[in-house]
Structure 1
């Protein structure tokens, strides 16, 4: 279960960095950033965020089984 927690913490840190640094450099707000996303690319982005958050748990589970 600690692997899942580390994935969630990593996801939160990633989103904080993206919403502060990247959006700050681009000079856009979060709502403008989300409006500019292509629907397909946005869906893939959200899916990859979930994969990113779950990856430590998936790897830890595989390591424990092997």
Structure 2
């Protein structure tokens, strides 16, 4: 799942460890989420959004290219 976690974490000058601790996860899990190698649960998405003071749309909504559908991306 693509996301903007790293972008917002760095804007807030937080280390991976600091954000992970705040969200109640390991730094390794956060690293995987930032690299889109781990799909977090809705609960974890909400924890990250709360920690970053952002909405789900801000962090996890990735706009598709004009005319591109989800099927075309896969």
Q: Do they superpose with TM above 0.5?
A: no
In the superposition, the TM-score normalised over structure 2's length comes to 0.31
